[in-house]
Chains A and B, each alone.
Chain A
Amino acid sequence: MNELAGGVIEIGWPQLLLSTGFVVVVGILSIRLSLGLERDLAIATVRTFLQLIALGIVLRWVFGIDSPWLVIAILVLMMAAAAQTIVKRAPDAPPGILGSSMITMLLTGFTVTFAVTGLIVQVEPWYRAQYVIPIAGMVLGNSMNGIALSLERTFADLDARVGQVLALTALGATPWEAAGDSVRIAIRAGLIPTINAMAAAGIVFIPGMMTGQVLAGADPLEAAYYQIVVMLMVAAATAFGSVLAVLLAYRRRFTADGVYLEKGYRAGKP
């Protein structure tokens, strides 16, 4: 094994091939048990290889160029991808939420990422890719899940409460008054996984970033400090992001006159 000075054991092609062997075993298992997963598993394995190696090459290139504009451009791309994913995961949401999801990701992504790199970690210069990009990745990747969950729940809950929404609107409720209960339930639902993860961190599992730092030879206590910062910022990003995304989106299910668009009144698919 090639052990480096920092205590990191390098992984090369032989190790990668060996790890692929485990997936092949799972594939055989899938065929023998007729799980029908072998095709998806093969595609997913190939994607893992291609995407992560591509990421490694791109990051190596970005770290070398050291340009603030490049870092910003990459962050915007990541946020656009996150916004796209959110829209896909909330298929029942009204059309046109891509824009509000993008605004949400830009606002929470930039604010939380640079609050951490600038105020807490105090990276010099402020755009240092080695810090900014991974931290932004964690902020976006984790908050995206909560935001998608909140959005999905908002519109699912409104449809489930359609009778109450109509009764409220008929009494003179504004869209906010009619939708408020659903919005609150949805934001709570989006935040609960993050709060649970915070509560279980270090007892049930070692969080991903801390694992990575320890494997890379960092002092476990220092890695723990980093992980605390990351978990708190992910919680903050999820909370801000969910609130913002839902508040920007729920009104789209109502007409300008404040009438809830029940399934029969929606354009496109009935």
Chain B
Amino acid sequence: MLLSAEGLGYTARGDTGPHVVLDRVSVALDSGEIVDVTGPSGAGKTTLLRALARLLPDVTGSLALSGRPAAEFAPPEWRRRVTLLPQTTALMPGTVRDNLLLPWSLKVRSGDRPPPDGSLEQALHDVGLAEIALTRDASRLSVGQAARVALLRVVLAAPAVLLLDEPEANLDDESAAQVAVLTERFAASGGAVVRVRHQRGGVAASRTLHLAGGHLTEVVR
């Protein structure tokens, strides 16, 4: 078991009082798996991803990575291994290269060697961004290009688990297909992916889970 979550609970402060978003949700992921999470909007799909990344305040329940409980990891160490790509693309001021190398500017990766330009260019090529130079200012990317750069930023950092919050939301079909291929390649190399998405073609998930009313259920096909 790569990632396991037991009894995740989270209550949000809603407009009309407390509102249970996650009601003892449990999920387990093996390496190589791609798990899709579906559900009505507002059901808490993003909240679930944030809980798995330890980015949710006041969440209850327990998490473990490769059998080691979350408490054994400092939060930045956990997030380095279980990395969320937020739904809203947020690139930093600077060039595309600055953004792709951002993970290596952090203390949590201070011992690692950043990938060379050749790998970065290859990665851009793989998601249909071959025409984008590494020196391009990030603010001059289109919404769809920026979304793919943000995705590459987390994929290149090679976490164990990738949490993708609607990675294809701003993409045309062709770009979405490239993202799906990248996701599949990541899983094939031993990672696991949890993906929030609205139904769309492309790479099929290993499993699909449905989140509604605070409960996560397996969708049987």
Those of A169-186 within 8 Å (CB) of chain B:
169-174, 177
A172/B92 contact (C-beta < 8 A), A177-B107, A259-B55 known: no
CB of B197 closer than 8 Å to a CB of A: no
Would A174 and B107 count as touching, CB distance under 8 A? yes
A254 to B79, CA, bound (A): 15
Would A265 and B57 count as touching, CB distance under 8 A? yes
CB of B84 closer than 8 Å to a CB of A: yes
Which residues does chain B contribute within 8 Å of A257, judged by CB atoms? 54, 57, 75
Closest chain-B Cβ to A77's Cβ sits at a distance in Å of: 38
A170 to B88, CA, bound (A): 13
Would B150 and A173 count as touching, CB distance under 8 A? no
Q: Which residue of A lies closest to B92 (CB)?
A: A164
Contact of B79 among A164, A171, A264 (CB under 8 A): A171
Contact of B55 among A163, A164, A170 (CB under 8 A): A170
A86 to B150, CA, bound (A): 38
CB of A167 closer than 8 Å to a CB of B: yes
CB of A24 closer than 8 Å to a CB of B: no
Would A167 and B150 count as touching, CB distance under 8 A? yes
Which residues does chain A contribute within 8 Å of B92, judged by CB atoms? 164, 167-168
Would A171 and B57 count as touching, CB distance under 8 A? no
Interface-centre pick from B13, B56, B75 (highest chain A CB count, 10 A): B75
Closest chain-A Cβ to B69's Cβ sits at a distance in Å of: 15
Q: Which residue of A lies closest to B54 (CB)?
A: A257
Closest chain-B Cβ to A188's Cβ sits at a distance in Å of: 15
A164 to B103, CA, bound (A): 13
A167/B109 contact (C-beta < 8 A), A172-B76, A255-B57 known: no
Q: Which residue of B lies closest to A167 (CB)?
A: B90
A173/B86 contact (C-beta < 8 A), A164-B92, A166-B55 known: no
CB of B83 closer than 8 Å to a CB of A: yes
Those of B91-129 within 8 Å (CB) of chain A:
92, 102-103, 106-109
Which residues does chain B contribute within 8 Å of A270, judged by CB atoms? 13, 15
Which residues does chain B contribute within 8 Å of A164, judged by CB atoms? 90, 92
A170/B103 contact (C-beta < 8 A), A255-B57, A261-B57 known: no
CB of B173 closer than 8 Å to a CB of A: no
Which residues does chain B contribute within 8 Å of A173, judged by CB atoms? 76, 106, 108
Which residues does chain B contribute within 8 Å of A167, judged by CB atoms? 86, 90, 92, 150
Contact of A163 among B58, B86, B108 (CB under 8 A): B86
Q: Which residue of B lies closest to A270 (CB)?
A: B13
Contact bitstring B29-68, A, C-beta under 8 A = 1, else 0? 0000000000000000000000001111110000000000
A261 to B50, CA, bound (A): 13
Which residues does chain A contribute within 8 Å of B176, judged by CB atoms? none
Contact of A258 among B58, B76, B83, B153 (CB under 8 A): B76
Closest chain-B Cβ to A206's Cβ sits at a distance in Å of: 41
A172/B90 contact (C-beta < 8 A), A257-B54, A259-B56, A259-B57 known: no
A173 to B103, CA, bound (A): 8
Q: Which residue of A lies closest to B78 (CB)?
A: A172
Which residues does chain A contribute within 8 Å of B15, judged by CB atoms? 270
A172 to B109, CA, bound (A): 8
A171/B80 contact (C-beta < 8 A), A164-B92, A177-B106 known: yes
Given contacts A171-B103, A174-B108, A265-B58, 7 further A-B contacts (CB under 8 A): A166-B88, A170-B84, A171-B106, A171-B154, A172-B79, A258-B76, A264-B13
4 closest A-B pairs by beta carbon, nearest first, are A163-B90, A172-B108, A172-B80, A172-B76
Chain B: residues with CB nearer than 8 A to chain A? 12-13, 15, 53-58, 75-77, 79-80, 83-86, 88-90, 92, 102-103, 106-109, 150, 153-154, 157
